[in-house]
Amino acid sequence: MSEEEIIAAAFRLKNPQTRRVFIKLAAAAGIAIPTGAAGIEFASRAQAAAKGKIAAQFATLANDYWAAFAKGFHATCEELQIGEVELLHDNDAARELSQVRGLPIQSVSMLINTVVAAGEVPMVARICQQNSVYYTTIWEIPAWFTPPDVGDYFVSYNTSNSVQAGYEVAKVLFKSIGGEGTVVHIKGLATPTDDARTAGMMKAAGEFPGIKIVGGLRADWVREKARSVMLSMVTAYPDMKGVFAQNDSMALGVLSVLKERNLTSVKVAGIDGLPEGLAEVAKGGQFVATNTSLPPYQAGFAAVLLFDAYSGWKPSLPERLIYTGSLTATVENAESINQKIYASAKLPFDWLRMSRSLHPNDWDPQNKVTPIDPVVHWAGMPNEARLNAAYKSSGWAAELAATTQLYAERYKTGPFHGG
């Protein structure tokens, strides 16, 4: 252990007397502590090390969603004054796992990641557990697999409520075509998130007996693939009135085909709330709705959770499976969302105020945050018996209700509060 690491360990001790004893023992072991200006600089570096280093691992910066995600991550790290590392796996699972295994070499003590596929989460979580790296994953996770299956270093799984997003966006789309007619459905990659968006759309369709869902082909979240799918759909369903594409990139590909064919009455909806999609929705034309998971918030909120866990805060069981709030954008609010989340130089969140360790008495999540009930979240999925026994205890329902109420009460400010 280096001198800086020893002093960093001292800074992490919360009891002043224990800290003094620790430093005396270090001195007795022959570790010279600088004084004066050099001592101040050394202590500053040690204190920064005591706050840990956090990594964010995701696919690429060549995408508006991930660029916004990175913006939130960097802004939060700057406010928390913690070291940071950005890891891009380019949707390569081997590269992803290699980067995770290399975290100790980079002195990383916290990791936010978005996996290439849900099945990688258990391996990433166990590597982090073995190396004492606090871990939060966002978006994907295998059904019935939860943080208690691994240990305390697997802090939480966070995601947007994709069923709710699909439901809200589909309802706007169906209403825009008068509640009846043929709607083409275009799926993304075969992931739990995609399945959830489909479930939300089908839930909405159940409320509109006149809606007929057709298609269901995959375009893998890619604009050009969505164009190819849409060209076949135009021929197969010339009477279509709407298109539900499960992300904005695909929706924009669909829209380009419709415009080329002069099918200006066909309405389109997407999910992700990216700037280009929001701009189209704001026009009040064919693109009628999208839903944004607020990617900068997702990254920042996860960073704060890990910082708090690293600082000694221990999340309750309901806080280890989390929905972070999303917003459905229509012509009425799309421009406002775009300005606040993407266009502004400074993000409209007080990251420090989110912290349970820095603001134990007045913390505020600044967004709707809701604990996940795994039985509801994975309803209908096979192998429910695999669910950790902690979620089957007699006190689980009461603890879930209390935590849900706690977060609702604490949500007092934020750019979309009351909206």
For the chain, count helices (H), then strands (E): 15, 13
Token pair recorded at residue 397: 């329902």
pLDDT digits (tens, 9 = 90+) for 249-295: 999 999 999 999 999 999 999 999 989 999 999 999 999 999 999 99
Distance of alpha carbon 356 from alpha carbon 342, whole angstroms: 27
For 52-160+294-340+347-410, CATH number? 3.40.50.2300
Side by side, the strands of the sheet bearing 210-218 are 210-218, 180-187, 240-245, 267-269, 287-292, 327-329
Count of C-beta atoms within a 10 Å radius of residue 264: 10
Which residues fall within 8 angstroms of residue 360, CB to CB, at 6 or more apart? Answer: none
Distance CA 87, CA 265 (A): 43
| CATH 3.40.50.2300 residue window(s) in the chain | 52-160+294-340+347-410, 163-292
168 sits in the region (left: phi over 0; alpha: psi -120 to 50; else beta) called alpha
One-letter amino acid identity for 47? Q
- Give, rounded to a whole angstrom, the gap between the first and last alpha carbons of the chain: 51
CB 124 within 8 A of CB 100: yes
Residue 419 binned pLDDT confidence (cut-offs 50, 70, 90) = low
Q: What is the pLDDT of residues 151-202, one digit of tens each?
A: 999 999 999 999 999 999 999 999 999 999 999 999 999 988 999 999 999 9
156-to-80, 110, 238 alpha-carbon distances in Å:
19, 12, 46
The rounded mean pLDDT for the chain is 91
The pair of structure tokens assigned to 90 is 């380019």
Residue 284 backbone zone (phi > 0: left; psi -120 to 50: alpha; other: beta) = left
What fold is seen in the domain 163-292?
Rossmann fold (3.40.50)
